[in-house]
Amino acid sequence: MLPLSDLKVLDLSRVLAGPFATMLLGDLGADIIKVEQPGRGDDTRHWGPPFAGGESAYFLAINRNKRSITADLKHPPDLERVLELASKADILIENFRRGTQQTLGIDYKSIRSRNPHIIYCSISSFGPGKDENQPGYDFLIQARGGVMGITGHANGEPTKVGVAVVDMICGLYAANAILAGLQARAKTGHGCHIEVPLFESQVSWLTNRAQGFLISGHDIGRFGNAHPSIMPYETFHAADKMIAVAVGNDSQFRALCKAIGREPVANDNRFANNPARVANRVELGKLLSEEFVKKPAQHWIASLQAAGVPCGPVNSLADVFVDPHLRSSGLLQKIHHPTVGTLETVGSPILMDGARLPIRLPPPLLGQHNEEVATSEWDEPQK
């Protein structure tokens, strides 16, 4: 039995942060009912190409282990149906624009009056403050929240991360907070209201870059594939492709120098420890680049790995999905989808007692479970 198999989750969210959070809970066994707008569904159903079997790859990526029903929350019979489900749920998650919940009658106070045990999670664009009513998407938050200011090459334009990382981090925070809320409920018998804003989530994971600025007052900007505080910790061109070298301590640096045939470099005072290497990064980078470009990537990867130096190829997606470790890891799973047929997808990275979490349900068709949910659903709220 999966650890969350006794939990009922009503998912009123859409796009990515909320659906990602509920997918994480569903992977761990929770029963997720996803409520979608009739005729249209989640916005991500339309975000493509690519599509397969009429479903967008975007939607397929983040909605496994869920059931879908349709409801127009402005239509009283549909709203009542959703409120009835909420009265029996353990968890409700939503990402409506602030104030919409009260207008529709699905705000925390209204739901709590029906179900005092509910863990109610709101995902917002901005938390309480000056811009609490402003809308937001991942790209906007990456720009405003600083991640674009530290991503990209120093002489290039600010660059967003290649996936919607703000939404996903926010979803991780939300899932974590929900589990904490459940733990608190087990002690007190009462539910709670959780809010996880995108903007604050973004700023919170600037971590060392944020703390570095707050300490120094100096914005060091974009470093490309290098690291502002560790050297060498960046990409290099081998004879045929790029490799990533991640030297985290002085012993690894000595091993690196030996592996590339430049052992005396480790004893050079300019490079003898990490602060010195950071201060002299240009000289060291040039020296290493002159060596790495002489031989193919696989030669250096084999040599450095044998020496205990963390390194690897800079892969395209085509490279990633033939990576021997990935193909042997069990992370990729094949499931049957009602319109796609056999669908290969990336499963959960979590291992429970050494086993991969199963994909119990494929991403649902819009309203696929309307009849099922209407006729045989949750009986009592969890205490």
Q: Is 167 a catalytic residue?
A: yes
Nearest CA-CA partner of 63 in 2, 127, 99, 13: 13
Whole-angstrom Cα distance, residue 367 to residue 71? 9
Nearest CA-CA partner of 164 in 179, 145, 188, 181: 145
By DSSP bridging, strand 332-337 and strand 341-346 are antiparallel
Which residues on adjacent β-strands are paired with residue 69?
35
Q: Please provide the distance, in angstroms rounded to a whole number, between the alpha carbons at the two ends of the chain.
A: 20
Query: Cα angle at 55 between 54 and 60, to 5 degrees?
Result: 160
What is the gyration radius of the CA atoms in the chain, in angstroms?
25
Which of 27, 107, 138, 167 is labelled catalytic? Answer: 167
Q: Which residue has the tokens 């010195």?
A: 276
Environment class of 355 (CB within 10 Å of its CB; exposed 0-12, middle 13-18, buried 19+): exposed
Q: What is the token pair recorded at 168?
A: 């996903």
3-state class (DSSP) for residue 220: coil
Amino acid at 365: L
Amino acid at 275: P
Are 35 and 90 contacting, i.e. CB atoms less than 8 angstroms apart?
A: no
Residues noted as catalytic:
167
